Structure 1
Amino acid sequence: MNAPLPADLPEAATAALLHVEGLGVAIARTDGEEVRPVDGVNFAIAAGETFALLGESGCGKSMTALALARLLPDGGRIAAGSVRLGDEDLLALPEAAMRRVRGGRIGMIFQEPATSLNPVMSVGAQIAEALAAHGLRGAAARAEACRLLAAVGIPDPERRLQEFPFQFSGGMKQRVMIAIALAGRPRLLIADEPTTALDVTIQAQVLDLLAELQRREGMAMLLITHDLGVVARVAHRVGVMYAGQVVESGPREAFFATPLHPYSRKLFAALPEAAKRGGALDAPVGSVPPPDRHFPGCRFAERCPAAFDRCDEEVPVWHAVGTQAVRCHLYEGVAIPRRFVRETAGAADVVAARPAQSVLEVAELAVHFPVRKGFLRRTVGHVKAVDGVSLRLQPGRTLALVGESGCGKTTVGKALLRLIEPTAGRLWLDGERYDALPLSALQPLRRAVQMVFQDPFASLDPRMRVGEIIEEGLAALGVGADHRARQARVTELLERVGLSAEMRWRYPHEFSGGQRQRIAVARALAVAPRVIVCDEPTSALDVSVQAQLLNLMRELQHEQGLAYLFITHNLAVVEYLADEVAVMYLGRIVEEGPIERVLGVRAHPYTRALLAAVPRIEGAGGAAPDVGGTGVAGGSTATPGTIMAELPSPLAPPSGCHFHPRCPYATDVCRIRYPAPADLGQGHRVRCHWPLALR
């Protein structure tokens, strides 16, 4: 059974456009057996409505989307159920007819635009290819492609049609994917993690764009995500998926006010928030069971804190609870939702006094990359990726470096380890300068400072076993008396990060994303460092795996006094984990200080814009987003404070304050002179001509 459609939808939208009943997907294994990643999924979506399918990685969300479009991988088949789009049964169509449906009545935005776009075809050719599949070619196709790029907010669309995907930013590539998905004017748009790994400002732009296009076209939208903030911002109804089944469904406002299923409540408990600082996040233990498991009872039972004997032996049925529906034995005979009280604080730990001595310090760091052109490769300019950054890292404390993609955060982290050579600046480790040391003399730095990279799959050698990957650093830096001692250290590290010693014999591809990130942490810890540079370590992790990793990092910091430089665009993580924060824009720090001061005062308009762009779950229990009203004629759906302009190029940054072209408070002095640092007290500093007027 499904929860009823929301009453606030327009009358024309109350008839469901998409009906999915009992959908099951089977995939054949090499041993002849089959696995069931999707097993009995039911939901419906009305025209003009957004239905969010929520859950951890491995729950079957993306496989459900692929099944709707009949794009299953080799060996996959629809094992059961029906999928009706309007009056048509999609599973009964021959493949030739289904090709007309894909990209026509159904559009799809895939999770990773960088891998979904063809790197050797221009953007215009890829949009034209989608248009040609629906009978539009030549000059008419080019005009329509230009219109689509303009519709998704890409400036100068005529020129950019000729460009290739590598010439677009991450947010722009996602907009191109949306344009391709809209080429056939679909009635149903499937958006599979459309904002994963995008920074908060680009994420806000993409979500606002989807909402505006939905309002304009009246599309139904299936939004697949693990981000509760995104769900709170754009969804009308929510379905929670676990181990191949939907376990809870209902209107967005009811779901956020009172999540019913124990799994849903665990997802809320795992959210990092400022109110939970000092306490551990209540992440679900373990992980999603594999699709080859047989379940005699509830699929969540082994991870459920409320499980009892019946949960292990009997499959739960659907129960209607108010406007919601839940598949759980706890709601037998319950007609009124039980009140949900979110945990907002954990048991505070004793925080050590701020030490006077920094373990690592950087002053006026600059990294400029030359731009060369012509046959003789003459230098015609420099990309000022980092331009005068000063930071201090202290034992047992976390400094968060935040900002949009392209602002220079990762370059700062790599320059601290001399993985990228600084153009200028001074670097100290325990008071000793190391910026001028030859590479052969940097072994003490390599032992003291380690890095956890953003993409663990790319940073782990796919040809080496996990045990060899961790031991390699030990051998290279001379840690451990012999091979046996290093093997014992590998065992200790794997167990410390929550993995078993037997996993040392596996290769990286045999692990989930969260497990690979734990391996990357174990490798960084192997040589007993005192500083760890964490470059977006949680950017692509779902909320429960993120909580497990944050709990681990917090425990390690308290046990070993580690200093963290936490590079991220996830401000919710910053609020939970960081002690100090530095806000970076176009290679420079524009605001810095204690976390409570910077995020409380928000003296710089860029800091305010970043925080305004963060999707929040507070207030999500209110009215659903408008999907049928006309709104303000010609108005924008942009969230107040959202930065709509693109980040300027560091090759030619704006004169004066670099932020002035995007700043609503800019005056003439902002366009002429870069602001000097202003001290706002309590270690809080800002570079803005008018900081006091903004408080």
Structure 2
Amino acid sequence: MSMPDNAKSLVVEELVVEIAGERPVRPVDSLSFEVAAGQTMALLGESGCGKSMTALAMMRLLPTAGRICAGRVRLGELDVLAQSEAQMRAVRGGRLGMIFQEPSTSLNPVMTVFAQIGEVLSRHRALSGEAARKEAARLLAAVGIPDPQARLDDYPFQFSGGMKQRVMIAMALAGEPDMLIADEPTTALDVTLQAQVLDLLLRLQRERGMGIMLITHDLGVVARMAHQVGVMYAGQLVETGPRDAFFATPLHPYSRKLFAAVPSADRRGGALETLPGIVPPLDRAFAGCRFAERCPVVMSHCASVEPQWHVRDGQRVRCHLYADGGAVCEDTPSVSAAASTSSRECDEAPAGGRLEVDGLRVHFPVRKGVFKRVVGQVKAVDGVSLKLQPGKTLALVGESGCGKTTAGKAILQLIEPTAGKVQLDGATQNGRRGRALRALRRQVQMVFQDPFASLNPRMRVGDIIAEGMKALGVSGEAGARHAQIDRLLERVGLSPAMRERFPHEFSGGQRQRIALARALAVSPRVIICDEPTSALDVSVQAQILNLMRDLQRAEGIAYLFITHNIAVVDFLAHEVAVMYLGRIVEYGSTESVLRQPRHPYTRMLLDAVLTTEADGPDTVGDVPDAPGELPSPLNPPDGCHFHPRCALADARCRSGYPGPTFLGAGGYVHCFRVSEAETGA
């Protein structure tokens, strides 16, 4: 017998979480909200606002130093905070399920998928043996994993990122929870996988009447998933309301700034709005509004008087602007907007480097047996040709596993290419060693996807930046290097005083600025940027994108921008190359590729992009899943590699790979279905 809806609702009342230390931190302070059965509540805000700590408190999974000081968490009639740890084992994974942000660290690498799902089935549903295996296979099939019976005995490393996230969802659903907490479930996924995972959650929600608390900083995900929205800042909610009302008229100045920071085509050529400063440290007592230090419409009493809740047409907002029936005023022009005007009026940028890549191939041998004989080749990059112009940005887009990062590393000779040619200003770079290779590294630098992993945790920031300068003979004297490092830190928006800090003392956005400063330290002419904004909040992402654009205009730097964020491509890139299974399938100007895509794969990527105008959760099922998964580069399909997933494929597509059809202005597409009449050739 199913429970009534009110028995499945989640109610949080005045929740307070404290982390003990020399100065206790309150990441959650007097938080109250409700998630109704069958509804999704999205918790939105920057990193450091307390979103994930709220979820961990609800699951009673706080770190050792953390404790719940006050408040209540009720799931129906169950008082979650009153349960003993033994009782919580039945609640956690049973009535309350959770999808963690990073599946690679949440799944046990030495246990098969069945062993991990089976633990949940055994504890919460008393299933074992063949019954458990049958149910585990059904769960994998429900989350869209093909051949589920065979995949049960695979280990997590044998799954792609999107597949691992689906396994996490299957585990979370195995206990048939009344309420599901999803913490950034799609942050590291491609646009196609993101769309599939979100629509899967919505369909399962509809079938089960399950409530979802969704934690995210992606406004497109909120628009697609949420029924209700809560904006969190510095441990407190500052705005709540229905999805449609929130996207039509965000009320709080913080909410408005988040919307203004989202990159889009209509902001191309200008600067994105940015929020000055960072989320304040939560180890102090607040007298007034916590957003006052960063607010563009701050008033004299905001810093000393705590704002109360005000109701406007079903929305609730915690802001002095709405006291006594007042209305929010327009934001004042931001510093970044003023800076962008001056940058547009500056002199023409100096010429940078011209990088040409022709027929680049990177094949990794697959060896088996005692004698490690080569039995196959993983064709990670299979004939890529690109041209980077001084002062221009070329975006390389595609799903994870298509070879984008491998291509970037091969261009920089961090991976030795199997074939092909890389030329910088006409000089061939392949096969360089020693001093000749150092000359390439000075002119071509790379900013890696994860700045925390790419910065030495045992070195201070000043030493990290100086290391490359010393190795490549830049600013030879110690005093000159010291002054240059201070100028670089200021240029990327950091204080020279920070040079003595270690990487762990910085936020994610600040670490990415340090990585960019390290790349700039040797005055390169080309920078390869590998997903430099993928894990950043929209506000921090806006700061990095503005900085990169201004540096390009001032220095004439050419960027190869590897990403799956189409909105960022639309804002920053001049040209786009679409990559699929090691090959470029479409190439052209940003305007032509994003506005008039010719290849079916490009259209599939663009159809999967979520925007703030995305259809809401009640339209689930209107957007079909992308057919199939990205094939393995070890055994790519015959003919056009995309034909197993293409609705337009015919016999030609299955028998031979299509040659290029030239579109004019240097663009081309590899597709049999693009005729000469369609291209105007």
TM-score by length of 2: 0.95
Question: What letter is aligned with 1:124?
Answer: F
Query: What is the CA distance between 1:500 and its match in structure 2?
Result: 1.1
TM alignment of 1:19-58, pairs within 5 A: 19-29=11-21, 31=22, 33-58=23-48
Aligned equivalent of 2:117:
127
Aligned-partner Cα distance in 1 for 2:112–2:45 = 35
Aligned equivalent of 2:152:
161
Aligned partners of 1:322 and 1:336 also within 8 Å: no
Distance 1:645 1:175, change over 3 A: same
Query: What is the CA distance between 1:436 and its match in structure 2?
Result: 3.2
Aligned partners of 2:587 and 2:667 also within 8 Å: yes
TM alignment of 1:597-608, pairs within 5 A: 597-608=592-603
Question: What letter is aligned with 2:269?
Answer: G
Pairing 1:186–2:169 present: no
Question: What letter is aligned with 1:328?
Answer: C
Structure 1, unpaired ranges of 5+ = 1-11, 628-635
- Give the one of 637, 648, 652 matched to 2:631: 648
Pairing 1:463–2:463 present: no
Pairing 1:105–2:95 present: yes
TM alignment of 1:59-458, pairs within 5 A: 59-134=49-124, 135-334=126-325, 349=344, 359-458=354-453
Deviations 1:591-622 (A, max 9, x none): 011100111110011111101111111256xx
Aligned partners of 1:262 and 1:304 also within 8 Å: yes
Question: What letter is aligned with 1:625?
Answer: P
Aligned-partner Cα distance in 2 for 1:523–1:353 = 25
Aligned-partner Cα distance in 2 for 1:613–1:14 = 35
- Give the one of 604, 611, 621 matched to 1:637: 621
Distance 1:335 1:304, change over 3 A: closer
Aligned equivalent of 2:550:
555
Pairing 1:519–2:514 present: yes
Query: What is the CA distance between 1:666 and its match in structure 2?
Result: 0.8
Query: What is the CA distance between 1:183 and its match in structure 2?
Result: 1.1
Query: What is the CA distance between 1:69 and its match in structure 2?
Result: 0.8
TM alignment of 1:563-642, pairs within 5 A: 563-618=558-613, 624-626=616-618, 637=621, 639-640=623-624, 642=625
Question: What letter is aligned with 2:646?
Answer: C
Query: What is the CA distance between 1:504 and its match in structure 2?
Result: 1.3
Distance 1:431 1:354, change over 3 A: farther
Query: What is the CA distance between 1:56 and its match in structure 2?
Result: 0.4
Structure 2 residue matching 1:271: 3-state secondary structure: coil
Aligned partners of 1:462 and 1:509 also within 8 Å: yes
Query: What is the CA distance between 1:638 and its match in structure 2?
Result: 5.9
Query: What is the CA distance between 1:492 and its match in structure 2?
Result: 1.2
Aligned-partner Cα distance in 2 for 1:47–1:218 = 6
Deviations 1:656-675 (A, max 9, x none): 11101001111111111111
Aligned-partner Cα distance in 1 for 2:84–2:332 = 50
Distance 1:694 1:126, change over 3 A: farther
Aligned partners of 1:604 and 1:694 also within 8 Å: no
- Give the one of 661, 668, 674 matched to 1:678: 661
Aligned partners of 1:21 and 1:83 also within 8 Å: yes
Distance 1:358 1:495, change over 3 A: closer
Aligned partners of 1:269 and 1:342 also within 8 Å: no
Structure 2 residue matching 1:154: 3-state secondary structure: coil
Pairing 1:668–2:651 present: yes
TM-score by length of 1: 0.93
Aligned equivalent of 1:533:
528
Aligned-partner Cα distance in 2 for 1:271–1:585 = 27
Aligned-partner Cα distance in 1 for 2:274–2:184 = 21
Structure 1 residue matching 2:171: 3-state secondary structure: helix
What fraction of aligned residue pairs are identical, expressed as a percent? 66
Deviations 1:266-296 (A, max 9, x none): 0000000011000010011111111113211
Structure 2 residue matching 1:489: 3-state secondary structure: helix
Aligned-partner Cα distance in 2 for 1:153–1:340 = 45
Distance 1:354 1:282, change over 3 A: closer
Aligned partners of 1:605 and 1:694 also within 8 Å: no
Aligned-partner Cα distance in 1 for 2:270–2:329 = 26
Distance 1:393 1:352, change over 3 A: farther
Aligned-partner Cα distance in 2 for 1:235–1:382 = 44
Aligned partners of 1:208 and 1:638 also within 8 Å: no
Query: What is the CA distance between 1:312 and its match in structure 2?
Result: 0.7
Aligned-partner Cα distance in 2 for 1:683–1:38 = 54
Query: What is the CA distance between 1:358 and its match in structure 2?
Result: 6.0
Worse-matched range after superposition: 326-335 or 546-555: 326-335
Question: What letter is aligned with 2:136?
Answer: A
RMSD: 2.3
Aligned-partner Cα distance in 1 for 2:588–2:196 = 28
Aligned partners of 1:229 and 1:617 also within 8 Å: yes
Deviations 1:379-400 (A, max 9, x none): 0010111111111111110000
Distance 1:205 1:341, change over 3 A: farther
Question: What letter is aligned with 2:226?
Answer: A
Worse-matched range after superposition: 422-431 or 223-232: 422-431
Aligned-partner Cα distance in 1 for 2:283–2:351 = 55
Query: What is the CA distance between 1:438 and its match in structure 2?
Result: 2.9
Distance 1:157 1:335, change over 3 A: farther
Aligned partners of 2:296 and 2:331 also within 8 Å: no
Question: What letter is aligned with 2:549?
Answer: R
Distance 1:352 1:604, change over 3 A: farther
Aligned-partner Cα distance in 1 for 2:252–2:433 = 58
Query: What is the CA distance between 1:466 and its match in structure 2?
Result: 1.1
Aligned equivalent of 2:541:
546
Query: What is the CA distance between 1:480 and its match in structure 2?
Result: 1.4
Deviations 1:13-66 (A, max 9, x none): 58870111111101101x2x4210000111101110000000000000000001
Structure 2, unpaired ranges of 5+ = none
Aligned-partner Cα distance in 2 for 1:367–1:225 = 36
Query: What is the CA distance between 1:80 and its match in structure 2?
Result: 1.2
Aligned partners of 1:45 and 1:220 also within 8 Å: yes
Distance 1:365 1:217, change over 3 A: same
Aligned-partner Cα distance in 2 for 1:211–1:449 = 44
Query: What is the CA distance between 1:551 and its match in structure 2?
Result: 0.7
Question: What letter is aligned with 2:591?
Answer: E
Aligned-partner Cα distance in 2 for 1:619–1:675 = 34
Aligned-partner Cα distance in 1 for 2:379–2:445 = 25
Deviations 1:227-255 (A, max 9, x none): 00000011111000000001000000000
Aligned-partner Cα distance in 2 for 1:495–1:299 = 27
Distance 1:350 1:155, change over 3 A: farther
Aligned-partner Cα distance in 1 for 2:380–2:440 = 23
Structure 2 residue matching 1:514: 3-state secondary structure: helix
Aligned partners of 2:224 and 2:614 also within 8 Å: no
Aligned-partner Cα distance in 1 for 2:328–2:520 = 46
Aligned equivalent of 1:5:
none
Question: What letter is aligned with 1:309?
Answer: S
Aligned partners of 1:205 and 1:638 also within 8 Å: no
Aligned-partner Cα distance in 2 for 1:414–1:156 = 34
Structure 1 residue matching 2:303: 3-state secondary structure: helix
